[in-house]
Structure 1
Amino acid sequence: MTAERAHLAVIGAGPAGLAAALAAAGRGVRVTLIDSAARAGGQFYRQPTAGLRARRPRALHHGWRTWERLSRALALQMEAGTITHLTDHHVWLVDRSGTAHLPTGTGGFVVHALRGRLQEEPGTVRADAVLLATGGYEKVLPFPGWTLPGVVTAGGAQAMLKGTLVVPGRRAVVAGTGPLLLPVATGLAAAGVEVAALVESADPRAFLRRAGALAAEPGKAAEGAGYAARLLRHRVPLRMRHAVVEAHGEERLDAVTVAALDADGHVRPGTERRIPCDTLAVGHGMLPHTDLADALGCRVEGVRVHVDEEQRTDVPGVWAAGETTGVGGAALSLAEGRIAGHSVAARLRGAEPDPRDRSAATRSRTRLRAFSAALDAVYAPPARWAERVTDDTVVCRCEEVTAGTVRAAVDELGAGDVRTVKLLTRAGMGWCQGRMCEPAVAGLAGCEQTPARRLLARPVPLGVLAAAGEPTDD
């Protein structure tokens, strides 16, 4: 290791990344916090654009006091020079350079990014260790009409509201499954949108079956009760164990059809109801971002990065925290980030982490992981969703591949996994590289969704790749 202080690169400035950066910097580690957004906070703490001069941004947020504490601490560390915050940096690769040396004998890392809004200018950061706090992205399952203008993801609707103070329409239906639907519906209603219905596919009895695990976090229960009270105040109809089965419109959305589901996930005949609306905000939970971990060779279990009790991956010098290790919400991300930051600081000195540094965070992590596991079981997408996807429904929007084409690859050509379907149909070969369509392709093909190991985490200009052999530090 060089004579100067050990250097940690934290990728992602959401709750996990912020907590990790602050914990490591507080123990004497030099930190570079790298994020694709113009401001810290991630999706959860997304702020209105500064030029909008929002008078009450806290009205759009849960846990605003925690954000204020994190924001103040980050500003102090940046002023002291212990944290460098690089905004508008889109990381596309992390590789092991072998030029720096940890006490454990492992090499250092080079983080490659594209800088700026246009993502054209290359930039690199060298570090002794890397912490991946890359968050998650929305899972959206297709249905007839889901590509119509006016259909947005639930998180996209929330991002518009938080980041630009803009609503996606005048009359909305919020649908799918997962805890994100509650803040989206209440946020839109508070902003003046008429929310015609909150359509949740989860079975209310699933909450009762896991009442013990859910009650173990009374703060979360109180948060849910608060959202329910706001739904009542805004007179938003809640339709449990229902799903949107079709979106209607010519040039854009003008209505959706919702229907009740039976215990097996089938549509109950005669329950279909058409709801006029100009916006549908739909989502079916979240998936971890694992691209950078995959490229580094980190072990990925299912769709999440595997970590130990210190949030270390199985690649020496690489830690991971937050949604990338399993989606569980901001509080869990904060706990994991603190644990990871303290671990990095100790390991870079060649020492064992002090148990006192992470005892409270470890207890919180244990409780919140159990809570999130219970939520995952409650909010599982309906089992028969793929049966409602018609053959002419576009599944891969980038390559315009239909459900019928995917089914033909399985039934007629013998495809048995997502990769083979991709090779036969081009589903997943577009700009998003399957991030949006992969869950749907796996569901239609009847196989598990397994992460595809990619060298690059995002599209990169050829000129940048050609120059990558001679990196210049930021």
Structure 2
Amino acid sequence: MTERRHLAVIGAGPAGLAATLAAARHGTRVTLVDAAPEAGGQFHRQPAAGLGARRPQALHHRWRGWQRLREGLDQYLAAGLVTHLREHHVWFVERRQQGLTVHALLGSAPERPVEVHADAVLLATGGHEQVLPFPGWTLPGVVTAGGAQAMLKGGLVLPGRTVVVAGTGPLLLPVATGLAAAGARVAALVESADPRAFWGRPAILTAQPAKLAEAVGYAAELLRHRVRTLVRATVVEAHGDERLTAVTVATLDTEGRVRPDTRRRIDCDTLAVGHGMLPHTDLAQGLGCRVDGVAVHVDDEQRTDVPGVWAAGEATGVGGAALALAEGHIAGRSAAARLSGAVPDPRGWAGAARSRAGLRRFGAALDEVCAPPAHWAELVTDDTVVCRCEEVTGGAVRRAVTELGAGDVRTVKLLTRAGMGWCQGRMCGTAVAGLAGCPRTAPGGPFARPVPLGVLARAGQDDEQHGRQHDMK
């Protein structure tokens, strides 16, 4: 066991699980590090065991795929080839002369520092939701679309009784249908894109029949639950004093601007809103990996440009669970081969590579069709809070540009403190860039999450005095 080369996989979603199983299957010892109490990531989030869910499969699609991943993980855990570190929040990956060290915090306050030493690291850190601001978006009762889904899947609770689901992107469909099936009244599904634009891409649609069948299934569920669907529409304002009571929606013209005299008010106690996903690149940036736009750059083997570091799944570009599985499989096999000293044979993952290529094309088309409205920033008033952590308004961001001469996001941040709070710009970065008229870049700092100074002071010191240490070498 001690002679086996060691791979640390960060993230136990579809990409991380696929990579773990592929690497373990080819003889590599794997430590799977994840922040959640159970494997599955956001896509396969499971209800807490204490809730006693009788039919958890009702909350998921692709349940059989999850069962295969779970059974495979259990098999390698029992064989001792995989170690699963649950509730370990990775904040930094350090390159050292003898390999790489994953720094994590275990549990909640008081958190314990943990170090995992490995020969290579595979980043399967997933993505996070993008929410663009509008008047009233900080009211209690306004949640992200993924947040509403997490409450239902993980806690078996509804975010509200009467819900509007709004924004853009494929996540809105399972959120709306899942909430409706669980007993919420979904007053409207408000999609700013026009899904009919996909019909102009017949080759991409016919190449992905499973995706087409999935969309048809969601459409049937929306009809069955009598969910009113508005396309080319957006939420322009959320109303309420102490909490949400209604939203105003309006239709959009072909340029993405609100059409005059189309506003309508919809009563609701919850708004689940999201405008697509963005990759988590913090750890990759901390390692010095190349980032193209907002995604980690990888080659055909899912290798980054930093030796010993692979990446797979949403971190390399948002494309859904099926793409994450394909990328994770390729990355795991590549890492296993190279750690054993062999040259990887691409024929071993030819099927996954074909799947990856087609799904990437589909994802690119989806990104184009479901892009946020081009003129969303016109809805942000000067009084609208843009950066929630530091309570910076849209007016403050605009004044930084027009009156103080800021020409990039970093200068806006220095002048207004937008992005200096707890989330370090992960929530507001896109909005600040859009209001400032600057290119969007991947947010991030030296660490992937806030870290107590005491942990930094102790990092690398003797483990017997400072927390648990998992040294697999």
Band the TM-score falls in, shorter-chain normalisation: over 0.9
In structure 1, what is the Cα distance between the partners aligned to 2:222 and 2:457?
A: 54
Per the alignment, residue 103 of structure 1 pairs with none
SS of the aligned residue for 2:395 comes to helix
- The two structures have a TM-score, normalised by structure 1, of 0.97
Counterpart in 1 of 2:273? Answer: 282
Q: Check conservation: 2:424, 2:443, Cα contact below 8 A.
A: no
> Compared with structure 1, are the counterparts of its residues 464 and 243 closer, same or farther at alpha carbon in structure 2 (3 Å cutoff)?
same
Q: Tell me whether 1:319 sits opposite 2:310 in the alignment.
A: yes
Letter in 1 for 2:9: V
2:246 equivalent to 1:255: yes
**Contact 1:90 / 1:119 at 8 angstroms: preserved in 2?**
no
1:144 to 135, 153, 159: 135
Tell me the residue number matched to 1:59: 58
Superposition map of 1:66-215 within 5 A: 66-99=65-98, 108-118=99-109, 120-215=111-206
Q: Which residue of 1 aligns with 2:38?
A: 39
Deviation at 1:450, TM superposition (A): 1.2
Counterpart Cα distance in 2 of 1:175 and 1:215? 28
CA distance in 2, matches of 1:354, 1:151: 49
Partner Cα distance (2:248, 2:434) in 1? 22
CA distance in 2, matches of 1:79, 1:204: 46
Residue 357 of structure 1 aligns with which residue? 348
SS of aligned partner of 2:83: strand
CA shift for structure 1 position 449: 1.2
Q: TM-score, normalised by structure 2?
A: 0.97
Alpha-carbon displacement from aligned partner over 1:140-183 (angstroms, at most 9, x marks no partner): 00000000000000000000000000000000000000000000
Provide closer, same or farther for how the CA distance between residues 119 and 86 of structure 1 changes in structure 2, counting only shifts above 3 A.
Answer: farther
Q: What is the rounded CA distance, in whole Å, between the counterparts of 2:107 and 2:326 in structure 1? A: 31
Per-residue CA deviation, residues 33-90 of structure 1 (Å, 9 max, x unaligned), is: 0000000000000000000010100001010000000000000100000000000000
Unaligned runs of 5+ in 1: 100-107
SS in 2 for 1:114: strand
Worse overlay, 29-38 or 464-473: 464-473
Task: Label 1:255 to 1:416 Cα distance change in 2 as closer, same or farther (>3 A).
Answer: same
Q: Is the 8 A contact 2:426 2:444 kept in 1?
A: no
- Partners of 1:41 and 1:160 lie apart in 2 by 15
Secondary structure in structure 1 of the residue aligned to 2:441: coil
Output the CA distance in 2 between the equivalents of 1:24 and 1:63. 23
d(CA) in 1 for partners of 2:8 and 2:113? 17
Q: Which position in structure 1 is the counterpart of 2:390?
A: 399
Unaligned runs of 5+ in 2: 464-468
* Superposition pairs of residues 5-44 of structure 1, within 5 angstroms: 5-44=4-43
2:466 aligns with none
Question: Do 1:151 and 1:253's aligned partners in 2 also have CA atoms closer than 8 Å?
Answer: yes
Distance in 1 (CA, whole Å) between partners of 2:398 and 2:405 is 10
Contact 1:214 1:374 in 2 (8 A): no
Match of 1:104 in 2: none
Paired residues of 2:233 and 2:252 also in contact (CA < 8 A):
yes
Within 5 Å, which residues of 2 pair with 1:265-276?
Answer: 265-276=256-267
1-structure distance, mates of 2:80, 2:206:
43
CA distance in 2, matches of 1:464, 1:217: 47
| One-letter code aligned to 2:43 | F
- Equivalent pairs counted in the alignment come to 465
Q: Deviations over 1:252-308 (max 9, x none)?
A: 000000000000111111110000000000000000000000000000000000000
Partner Cα distance (1:299, 1:128) in 2: 20
Q: Give 2:86's aligned amino acid.
A: T
Counterparts of 1:242 and 1:454, CA distance in 2: 35
1:442 aligned residue: 433
Out of 353, 359, 369, which is 2:360 matched to?
369
Q: 1:18 to 1:204 in 2, by over 3 A?
A: closer
Aligned to 2:292: 301
Q: Look up the equivalent residue of 2:363 and give its one-letter code.
A: S
Question: Could you report, residue by residue, the CA deviation over 1:110-165 in whole angstroms, capped at 9, with x for unpaired residues?
Answer: 00000013361100100000000000000000000000000000000000000000
Distance 2:434 2:398 in 1: 10
2:2, 2:13 → 1: CA distance? 30
The answer (yes or no) to whether the contact 2:424–2:445 under 8 Å persists in 1 is no
Shift of 1:352: 1.3
- Which amino acid is the alignment partner of residue 339 of structure 2? L
Aligned amino acid, residue 151 of structure 2: M
Residue 228 of structure 1 is matched in structure 2 by: 219
Preserved contact between residue 123 and residue 471 of structure 1 (Cα < 8 Å): no
Q: Secondary structure of the equivalent of 2:57?
A: helix
